[in-house]
Amino acid sequence: MYPAVDEHDEVYAANHNHPGYVIPVVVPPNYGTPQIPSYAPPYISTNVRGSIRTQQWSTALCHCFVDPGNCLVTCFCPCVTFGMIAEIVDKGNTTCTCDGAIYGTLLALSGLACLYSCYYRSKMRAQYDLPEAPFMDCLVHFCCETCAPCQEYRELKNRGFDLSLGWEVNMERQRQGAIVTPVISQTMTR
């Protein structure tokens, strides 16, 4: 686009002192080490260290009948399952009842509760370093609105949460499990 810099331009600039004249500079391309951008493209999920995420979902999206009780509850009253998931993902900042009521209201009035629930799937994936699979979060919730909460419920359950107890009780149970120390005999025996 610009003409190449040759000796004539430099000689001209040196002999003719024009204040507005700038010698064009051509920077050769860098063919050495590739520069890695400071951002990751939205389709590549990375964790804090910058490597590709290696965690996987513990169950597949359509394995709803692994937990038939939760499958039935989610089919007939998805606001209950969603409320339990949201309370754990929010780490107790909101209640199961509040999130379930919001979800139920959105579902009843607009039928687009999937827009609300896909936010919690994304948040859960970020917390547990899970891939955005099998599709984008909003697409999973839009197309499989019953299967997605079942998968999220199973994932939290497989990570040791009892969703029916809520965030506070789960944290209390984890603290008790972490605090309990083994009993050590005070006498030495041979």
- For the residues 80-100, what does the mean pLDDT come to? 91
Residues 6+ apart with CB under 8 A from 23: 5, 9, 10, 13
pLDDT at 73: 92
Quote the pLDDT of residue 141. 86
pLDDT at 65: 85
Q: With CA atoms as reference, report the closest residue to 91 among 167, 7, 182.
A: 167
Q: Across all residues in the chain, what is the average pLDDT?
A: 77
Return the higher-pLDDT residue of 108 and 52: 108
Task: Please say whether the beta carbons of 151 and 59 come within 8 A.
Answer: yes
Q: How confident is the model at residue 93 (pLDDT cuts 50, 70, 90)?
A: very high
Q: What is the pLDDT of residues 115-150, one digit of tens each?
A: 888 899 999 989 989 888 888 888 888 888 888 999
Predicted pLDDT at 36: 52
User: What local confidence, expressed as pLDDT, does residue 39 receive?
Assistant: 46
Residue tagged 């993902």 (tokens): 89
Residue 64 structure tokens = 């709803």
Question: Quick one: three-class SS letters along 46-62?
Answer: ECCCCCECCCCCCCCCC
pLDDT single digits (tens) 176-186? 876 544 445 55
| Residue 66, pLDDT score | 86
pLDDT in tens, 9-67: 555 555 655 555 565 666 666 666 555 544 444 444 444 444 445 578 888 888 888 88
Please tell me which residue, 175 or 45, carries the higher pLDDT value: 175
What is the distance between the alpha carbons of residues 142 and 139, in angstroms, rounded to a whole number?
5
Cα 139 from Cα 36, distance rounded (Å): 30
Does 91 have pLDDT greater than 60? yes
